[in-house]
Amino acid sequence: MGLQTYEINHIERLRKLAPECMVLLKSDGSFPLEVPGKMALYGSGSRRTIKGGTGSGDVNVRAYTTIEQGLVKAGFNITTSDWLDAYDAVWEEEYKTFRAGLKAKIEAEGMSGLLETLGVAMPEPEYSIPLKGEGDTAVYVLARNSGEGADRQAEMGDMKLSAAEIRDILQLAEQYPKFLLVLNVGGVVDLSPVVERVKNILILSQLGISVGDSFADVLLGKAYPSGKLASTWAAWEDYCTVGDFGELDDTRYREGIYVGYRYFDTVGNQPIFPFGFGLSYTAFSIEPGVPKMKGTKVTVPVTVRNTGAHRGKEVVQLYVSVPEGKLDQPYQVLAGFGKTRELAPGDKENLDICFEMEGLASYDEESSYRILEAGDYFLRLGNSSRNTEVVGTVCLEDTVELERVSHVGGTPDFRDWKPEGAKRGLGSIGIPGERIALHLSASAFTTVTYTAPKVDEEALALAKTLTDSELAYLCTGVFVDDETKYLIGNAGVTVAGAVGETTTLLRDKGIPNLVMSDGPAGLRLSRQYGLDEQGAYPLEAEEQEAFKELLPEALLNILLGIYPAAAGQNRNGEIREQNCTAIPVGTALAQSWNPTVCQECGDIVGEEMKRFGVHLWLAPAMNIHRNPLCGRNFEYFSEDPLISGKMAVGIILGAQKHPGCGATVKHFVCNNQETNRFNSNSAVSERALRDIYLRGFEIAIKEAAPLAVMSSYNLLNGEHTSQRHDLMEIVLREEWGFEGIVMSDWVPAGKPSADDKKYPRACASGSIAAGNDIMMPGGRKHHEDLMNALNNETVAYPLTRANLEKCASRMIAMAWKLAGQ
Ligand code: BGC
């Protein structure tokens, strides 16, 4: 089947959007090029271009353009085919050894070995191939991959550059008059060994299906990069080491609220490239107007003018230094931002950068109020966190207790770290001379009141007529077989390759089933499936082929059981296709600093959900970039909760514009590492939980009303998030008014197994009792657990019929909403 009209349309839209996600880190004016010509192309990402990371976030596409292909299509003459071939040979050889290592681990450790190897990316191999490409222009594409199940390593070939990369990049910078270092990465790499001597650096990121074409467009100036960093890029040694990362059992977030630039700016560490930074092919001036205040909303008008010689877009950022009082505060926090439209040389645009003072409130653990303390709030306007000027002050006359919230999330066994001499990092907080002062008193704020979310009485009435077992089916996914099969990403039955579904057993009672598919970098489905008189059946996919050589017989048999074609069942139905479009990864989207770009991507996915019959998209993923080594950071947006929240809002609105389609924000909450991911405990203070980790979710839920939330695998202060009534019912529903469903992450059912470390896995009974409505992907054991726990005081998590009815009624209401009555 050739490319369909919708595919062409989606690819064209993405090709235009993708440059907004690229960040130009250094430029000496050599680029863009005027015409295509001879090009010396090097580096692992040239031919092995990464469109998005691995794991459930990977989207099965028909094809995508690599950098090499994109450049050839654009008319470049690549003079380094020999180098690229030689590199391929090195890579293949190294990969064999790498796979053999994984296989040995799986053989020795069985299922737990498999779980731990799933996301492990091969480090960049060392090599030595002469750099002999012709032409005066060279591009080196440095690539990194990662994915769920494993964290990255602070080692050469991963977070750090390999010796071969350093050597070649430095030599190319000397050898070619025009040299561009391109970073085809989903997260930070430590650029310190090369950054001084390389004059042109572009974060291409991982941009999905159009990555190679979008790069060629930018290289030739048909498009231009306009992204800004959504997380700090620093030398590895300069990242915060106050808290733990990657502990097997308990990971203590001792750094509290000092995450990302909040840490760097407060202690005065110099990152290589700060949060919010990004250059342009052109130059801009930013002229602030007079800040205004209406009620508690602050507006800073600004005029942005393109003073250079190329088209471009600029991002204006407003940071606020919040006064310290009872609570310590970081040097500054992002309060608002805005991106211009495309400005031609000489063109200008007036923007209003706005924020609500309430958004700056901090959580006071002692009183459990969200408070704004009296004092001067300095407004800093600029185009990166380290390039701002103070444009005014909001003088808050008295401390405001905005909102009394509940104590939630438990208590860790430490007190948060506080930096010595906070705010001295970037110098004195005060500013000399005249400044515009806006005066605000506590009476301007309105008290927040809660309204209990509505209960769907009709759905509840139906739930009351169902048997206990039927209710338990509604609260577990449709997957009924062996607990291990979910691994292969095929726990759905209605749509091939969908990762989960709700029960199909109650259709005759008027409860349709719902189909769920990953995210976040597009819709993850099987690209091809078979259809015969018995219905749809999956074919053996390429990635499963890759599993074959890795798995010992017992595990392989499980896999073959799922793929009837491979198991020799000879079904000869018609082969159908589901071609989905890979969009940029979450980190790339956040780098656009443009919720409209996110909305367009959400819209593309929403169209494909409708086309293929998917009701819930398991995206956006919005955990905080707490540490650059988290293996799933590429799926997530940023180290900053405002950016995370606003980007998620765009994606949700885009996807949910399509009737019958819902977004699922995940992983709620504090899922910031992959090491021992089913059983690791994030120990976090209430302040950091409220001000950093919950905040992005709060923005997404309050401003975009996603239809679903996915709880996370990890524990929070000793209890699984799905089993925390305080998170499921109090925070989400009572405080934030969330009216959708909460599903668990894909938890392997059954007794705690050998791979469980100090803590057990989450269980169905504990989760449903807490208000996590459905246990995914389901399975006989989850169902048994619920039945066993019903009215049984002797089990760890007893369950009442009322608990089940409540969760089941929310599932029924969602099924009606998305799949019709
Ligand atoms: C991941 C989720 C994903 C789910 C279904 C889990 O392993 O953590 O993000 O949505 O699998 O594939």
- In the numeric block, the tokens 């929070």 are attached to 716
Residue 420: domain span: 282-444
615 and 682 in a common domain: yes
* pLDDT tens, position by position, 269-303: 999 999 999 999 999 999 999 999 999 999 999 99
What is the phi/psi pair of residue 315, to 5°?
-110, 120
What is the phi/psi pair of residue 54, to 5°?
-100, 180
612 and 707 in a common domain: yes
Over range 236-245, report the average pLDDT: 97
Which residues is 203 bridged to in the sheet?
23, 183
What is the phi/psi pair of residue 30, to 5°?
-70, -25
Q: Average pLDDT over the chain, rounded to whole?
A: 92
Distance CA 591, CA 689 (A): 24
User: Ligand 1 centroid to 403 CA: how many Å?
Assistant: 34
Tell the residue nearest (CA) to atom 8 of ligand 1.
745
pLDDT above 80 for 477: yes
Could you tell me if 313 and 366 are in contact, meaning their C-beta atoms sit under 8 angstroms apart? no
Domain end (from 515, 547, 577): 577
User: Ligand 1 centroid to 195 CA: how many Å?
Assistant: 36
Query: What pLDDT sits at residue 534?
Result: 75
554 and 671 in a common domain: no
**Percent of the chain at pLDDT exceeding 90:** 79
Which H or E run includes 306?
strand 297-306
Distance CA 525, CA 614 (A): 10
> What's the pTM value of the predicted model, to 2 decimals?
0.96
Q: Which of 518, 632, 669 to mutate to test the pocket of ligand 1 (most atoms within 8 A of CB)?
A: 518
* pLDDT tens, position by position, 362-390: 999 999 999 999 999 999 999 999 999 99
Residue 432's pLDDT band (boundaries 50, 70, 90)? very low
277 occurs within a structural domain:
no
Distance CA 814, CA 821 (A): 10
Give per-residue burial for 605-643: e unless 16+ CB within 10 Å, then b.
Answer: bbbbbeebebbbbbbbbbbbbbbbbbbbbbbbbbbbbbb
Could you tell me if 519 and 619 are in contact, meaning their C-beta atoms sit under 8 angstroms apart? yes
Query: What pLDDT sits at residue 453?
Result: 81
User: Ligand 1 centroid to 621 CA: how many Å?
Assistant: 10
Tell the residue nearest (CA) to atom 6 of ligand 1.
746
Rounding to the nearest 10 degrees, give the CA dihedral for residues 619, 625, 626, 628.
130
The token pair at 647 is: 């980007």
Could you tell me if 212 and 66 are in contact, meaning their C-beta atoms sit under 8 angstroms apart? yes
pLDDT above 70 for 133: yes
Distance CA 819, CA 515 (A): 9
58 versus 548: the higher-pLDDT residue is 58
Query: What pLDDT sits at residue 438?
Result: 86
202 versus 443: the higher-pLDDT residue is 202
User: Ligand 1 centroid to 635 CA: how many Å?
Assistant: 11
pLDDT above 70 for 520: yes
Q: How far is CA 763 from CA 482, 485, 679, 694, in A?
A: 16, 18, 12, 23
Over range 336-361, report the average pLDDT: 98
Query: What pLDDT sits at residue 216?
Result: 98
Mapped to the 3 state alphabet, what secondary structure does 493-531 carry?
A: CCCCCCCEECCCCCHHHCCCCCEEEECCCCCCCCCEEEE
104 occurs within a structural domain:
yes
- Spatial neighbors of 709 by CB under 8 A, at least 6 apart, are 664, 665, 666, 668, 697, 701, 732, 738, 740, 741, 742, 743
Over range 187-207, report the average pLDDT: 98
Domain end (from 415, 444, 473): 444
pLDDT above 60 for 821: no
User: Ligand 1 centroid to 154 CA: how many Å?
Assistant: 25
What is the phi/psi pair of residue 72, to 5°?
-60, -45
Q: Which of 618, 714, 722, 743 to mutate to test the pocket of ligand 1 (most atoms within 8 A of CB)?
A: 618
259 occurs within a structural domain:
no
Tell the residue nearest (CA) to atom 7 of ligand 1.
746
CA 803 to chain centre: 32
Query: What pLDDT sits at residue 753?
Result: 53
408 and 545 in a common domain: no
Distance CA 731, CA 279 (A): 39
CA 426 to chain centre: 30
Which among 818, 814, 801 has a CA at the least distance from the CA of 466?
801
Distance CA 349, CA 301 (A): 11
538 occurs within a structural domain:
yes
What is the phi/psi pair of residue 111, to 5°?
-60, -40
Query: What pLDDT sits at residue 450?
Result: 79
Q: Give strand ranges (E) for 131-236.
A: 137-143, 178-184, 201-203
User: Ligand 1 centroid to 746 CA: how many Å?
Assistant: 6
Distance CA 664, CA 647 (A): 14
Over range 408-424, report the average pLDDT: 85
* Ligand 1 atom at minimum distance from 56 CA: 12
Which among 701, 669, 667, 672 has a CA at the least distance from the CA of 686?
669
For 269, the 3-state DSSP assignment is: coil
User: Ligand 1 centroid to 585 CA: how many Å?
Assistant: 15
Q: Give 453: exposed, middle or buried? Use CB within 10 Å, 0-12, 13-18, 19+.
A: middle
42 and 177 in a common domain: yes
Could you tell me if 286 and 381 are in contact, meaning their C-beta atoms sit under 8 angstroms apart? yes
CB atoms within 10 A of CB 257: 26
173 and 215 in a common domain: yes
Distance CA 608, CA 99 (A): 34
Minimum mean pLDDT range among 252-261, 451-460, 554-563, 627-636: 554-563
The token pair at 246 is: 């990657």
Cα-trace Rg, the chain: 26
User: Ligand 1 centroid to 56 CA: how many Å?
Assistant: 6
166 and 76 in a common domain: yes
For 5, the 3-state DSSP assignment is: helix
508 and 404 in a common domain: no
Which among 704, 612, 718 has a CA at the least distance from the CA of 663?
704
794 versus 115: the higher-pLDDT residue is 794
Tell the residue nearest (CA) to atom 2 of ligand 1.
745
Strands 315-321 and 375-384: antiparallel
70 occurs within a structural domain:
yes
Q: Give strand ranges (E) for 357-486.
A: 362-364, 369-372, 375-384, 387-396, 400-404, 437-440
Split into its structural domains, the chain has a count of 4
Which among 94, 116, 96, 95 has a CA at the least distance from the CA of 105?
116
pLDDT above 60 for 426: no
Residue 487's pLDDT band (boundaries 50, 70, 90)? very low
CA 743 to chain centre: 18
Query: What pLDDT sits at residue 383?
Result: 97
Within 13 Å of residue 23, how many CA atoms lie on the same side as its CB? Answer: 31
For 757-798, give the DSSP string.
-SSPPP-HHHHHHHT--BBSSB-HHHHHHHHHHBT-TTSSS-
600 and 558 in a common domain: no
**Domain of 33: which CATH number?**
3.40.50.1700
User: Ligand 1 centroid to 55 CA: how many Å?
Assistant: 8
693 and 625 in a common domain: yes
**Domain of 398: which CATH number?**
2.60.40.10
434 and 313 in a common domain: yes
Over range 91-108, report the average pLDDT: 90
69 occurs within a structural domain:
yes
**Domain of 796: which CATH number?**
3.20.20.300
Query: What pLDDT sits at residue 106?
Result: 83
Query: What pLDDT sits at residue 120?
Result: 86
343 versus 484: the higher-pLDDT residue is 343
Residue 486's pLDDT band (boundaries 50, 70, 90)? very low
For 313-336, give the DSSP string.
--EEEEEEEPPPSSS---S-EEEE
Task: Write out residues with Cβ below 6 Å of ligand 1.
Answer: 56, 148, 489, 499, 518, 618, 666, 745-746
Could you tell me if 603 and 654 are in contact, meaning their C-beta atoms sit under 8 angstroms apart? yes
pLDDT above 80 for 774: yes
Domain end (from 413, 444, 475): 444
263 occurs within a structural domain:
no
Q: Give 334: exposed, middle or buried? Use CB within 10 Å, 0-12, 13-18, 19+.
A: buried
For 53-121, give the DSSP string.
-BGGG----S----HHHHHHHTT-EES-HHHHHHHHHHHHHHHHHHHHHHHHHHHHHHHHHHHHHTTPP
* Ligand 1 atom at minimum distance from 677 CA: 8
Strands 437-440 and 375-384: unpaired
Which among 807, 664, 808 has a CA at the least distance from the CA of 745?
664
- In the numeric block, the tokens 């990004």 are attached to 278
pLDDT above 60 for 423: no
Query: What pLDDT sits at residue 545?
Result: 64
CA 552 to chain centre: 33
777 occurs within a structural domain:
yes
- Spatial neighbors of 182 by CB under 8 A, at least 6 apart, are 43, 45, 67, 139, 140, 141, 142, 202, 204, 215
Could you tell me if 702 and 649 are in contact, meaning their C-beta atoms sit under 8 angstroms apart? no
Could you tell me if 371 and 364 are in contact, meaning their C-beta atoms sit under 8 angstroms apart? yes
Which residues is 741 bridged to in the sheet?
708
Minimum mean pLDDT range among 100-109, 613-622, 661-670, 690-699: 100-109
Residue 795's pLDDT band (boundaries 50, 70, 90)? very high
451 versus 464: the higher-pLDDT residue is 464
610 and 571 in a common domain: no
Which H or E run includes 699?
helix 695-704
Within 13 Å of residue 180, how many CA atoms lie on the same side as its CB? Answer: 27
Minimum mean pLDDT range among 348-357, 418-427, 731-740, 787-796: 418-427
* Ligand 1 atom at minimum distance from 666 CA: 9
Which among 12, 16, 25 has a CA at the least distance from the CA of 218?
16
Q: How far is CA 32 from CA 28, 45, 47, 211, 217, in A?
A: 10, 20, 21, 17, 9
